[in-house]
Structure 1
Amino acid sequence: MSRQALAGMMAGASSATAADGPPRLAFDLNGQGLAMSVWNGDYRSNLLMADLVHADGQPLVIASRILTGTPIAERSATTDMFHDLAAVAQQSGRSFYLLGGTEEVNRDCARKLQDLYPALRIAGRRDGFFSRAEEPAICAEINASGADIIWVGLGKPNEQAFCVRNRPLLRAGWVITCGGCFNFVAGTYRRAPQWMQDAGLEWIFRMVTRPRQLAWRYLTTSPLAFLLLLLRTHECSPTAQRQTHAR
């Protein structure tokens, strides 16, 4: 599915809204998540609860093109998808709730969104620093805002666990995990040059520009992720494809 099709499905005029009940879950998958799914059973179980898993990492797209006859249409990097949905949502009237990041980053992200998409309604926002005991109250706050699309930027595996755990409490069309997306929108993180993104090398750019935060993560997850892509990328059976589309 293309980025344009994803945006239309999630934020278009016919997309699900807050009035439709418990939300659908959309989780991103990249090399870190692929590796984490091997050693973290809870994360793997939560990932399987998603209604939609999209390819946030270009290596996943490249592997699908080389090793299967049903390649992924294109990469849907979460930061790009964030802008795609914002552009569509301001036309359809769908609203956002931003959950995650520091207060400063969350605030700056909301301001940047309003500058870029003046007609977009941001129903509410709050930072990502809270205890599990506070989650029911946070869900009630989100529901009261009437947000149609909830962006959850708490980092893996916390954001997936939050979404699955609180799905019964939430009323929205979609809940979408977004990692550090708010930082990119706010301008505190930089994207890699386009050629590195296209070549599946954005992780190297991030590791070099933020070595203290990311060097260990990428050095420990990227080799395993590449091995998994090589050994486990295969065609889905017709039955599996039907089950995937029906979720």
Structure 2
Amino acid sequence: MHKPEFDNVSVGGIATACVGRKQLAVLVGQICENYVEKQSPFVIFSNNGHAISIYNSDKEAREQMDQADLVHADGQSVVSFSRWFNKTNVVPERTATTDMIHDIPNFYQPTLKHFLLGGKETSVSKAGEILAQTYANFDVVGHQHGYFTDDDETAICDAINAAKPDVLWVGLGKPKEQIFCIRNKHRLKVPVIISCGGCYNYITGEYPRAPMWMQNAGLEWLFRMANDPRKLFVRYLLTNPHAIYCVIKHGLAKRTPA
């Protein structure tokens, strides 16, 4: 198995990869290149304020996150947090999942086969069409909406394996997508699994991206909340302060002598 090399830094208790956008995209491609049958999938999860809050308050979510092979900085806040208590190992830049799905075909030229799982049928199918039309090296070999039960998972995994993708994108929302990935990891014969939340809706334009200045300032969450306050206001109101508290708690604990 190809063992990618990267440093980690603890951000809110979560071991987060110190990788940039190009490095992460190429790393995914190299894992696919070197994949051999019967090898366990390389699982990639994301870290942001919501993830930090869940990780520190839900034992099951924490156990799922700890089983990932790599956790990347989906939120700009994670990039900043990584520098609060560290001088050397820090996250160089944000690797938002909504960018990563484009970064892979942009930075890794060989064609990879992708399977998109999650979201509404209309959203995931349209996202697949857009990606395949935009990138000649992004081969969409299948898709499946996210409205299924636990009893459906075996059949879904069989369909994914039959399609033989290199990368499986799982967009079911936290913590459901992490639970699905870890619970079915032994069933899936794919090189890489990436959790991707609501990524498909951004590809289709159903969810707008924040202006670049807000993304760079770590304020994309504010833009998203303003666009969907009914769904996101309470979430951000509760999780953002809790995430900051957890980052400080873990950072101070690391500095305290045993």
Confirm or deny a common fold (TM above 0.5).
yes
| Residue in structure 1 matched with residue 76 of structure 2 by the alignment | 58
Question: CA offsets per residue over residues 123-149 of structure 1, 9 Å max, x none?
Answer: 111101111011011101000001010
Amino acid at match of 1:26: I
Is contact 1:60–1:229 with CA below 8 Å preserved after alignment?
no
Higher helix share: 1
Structure 2: give runs of 5+ residues left out of the alignment. Answer: 1-18
Is contact 2:166–2:192 with CA below 8 Å preserved after alignment?
yes
SS in 2 for 1:121: strand
CA distance in 2, matches of 1:57, 1:28: 8
Shift of 1:64: 1.5
CA distance in 2, matches of 1:205, 1:132: 34
Is contact 2:32–2:192 with CA below 8 Å preserved after alignment?
no
RCO comparison, higher one (Cα < 8 Å, 6+): 1
Is contact 1:13–1:92 with CA below 8 Å preserved after alignment?
no
Equivalences for residues 80-229 of structure 1 within 5 A: 80-88=99-107, 91-229=109-247
Is contact 2:56–2:246 with CA below 8 Å preserved after alignment?
no
Amino acid at match of 1:129: Y
Question: CA offsets per residue over residues 137-175 of structure 1, 9 Å max, x none?
Answer: 110100000101000000000000000000000011110
Equivalences for residues 221-240 of structure 1 within 5 A: 221-233=239-251
Is contact 1:61–1:75 with CA below 8 Å preserved after alignment?
yes
Amino acid at match of 1:3: R
CA distance in 2, matches of 1:145, 1:45: 29
The structure-2 alpha-carbon separation of the partners of 1:49 and 1:14, relative to structure 1 and needing over 3 Å to count, comes to closer
| Residue in structure 2 matched with residue 23 of structure 1 by the alignment | 41
2:90 to 54, 59, 71: 71
Q: Structure 2 length normalisation: TM-score?
A: 0.86
Q: Structure 1 length normalisation: TM-score?
A: 0.90
Shift of 1:12: 4.2
The structure-2 alpha-carbon separation of the partners of 1:229 and 1:93, relative to structure 1 and needing over 3 Å to count, comes to same
Shift of 1:15: 3.5
Amino acid at match of 2:74: D
Is contact 1:68–1:234 with CA below 8 Å preserved after alignment?
no
CA distance in 1, matches of 2:205, 2:253: 39
Is contact 1:18–1:147 with CA below 8 Å preserved after alignment?
no
Question: CA offsets per residue over residues 88-142 of structure 1, 9 Å max, x none?
Answer: 45x3122100000000100110111022113321111110111101101110100
CA distance in 2, matches of 1:227, 1:196: 23
| Residue in structure 2 matched with residue 44 of structure 1 by the alignment | 62
CA distance in 2, matches of 1:107, 1:153: 13
SS in 1 for 2:83: helix
Q: Which runs of 4+ in 1 moved over 3 A?
A: 12-20, 233-237
User: Which region of structure 1 is more displaced relative to structure 2, 158-167 or 77-86?
Assistant: 77-86
Identity in percent: 39
SS in 2 for 1:79: helix
Amino acid at match of 1:173: P
User: Which region of structure 1 is more displaced relative to structure 2, 80-89 or 101-110?
Assistant: 80-89
The structure-2 alpha-carbon separation of the partners of 1:102 and 1:173, relative to structure 1 and needing over 3 Å to count, comes to same
The structure-2 alpha-carbon separation of the partners of 1:24 and 1:14, relative to structure 1 and needing over 3 Å to count, comes to closer
CA distance in 2, matches of 1:137, 1:33: 29
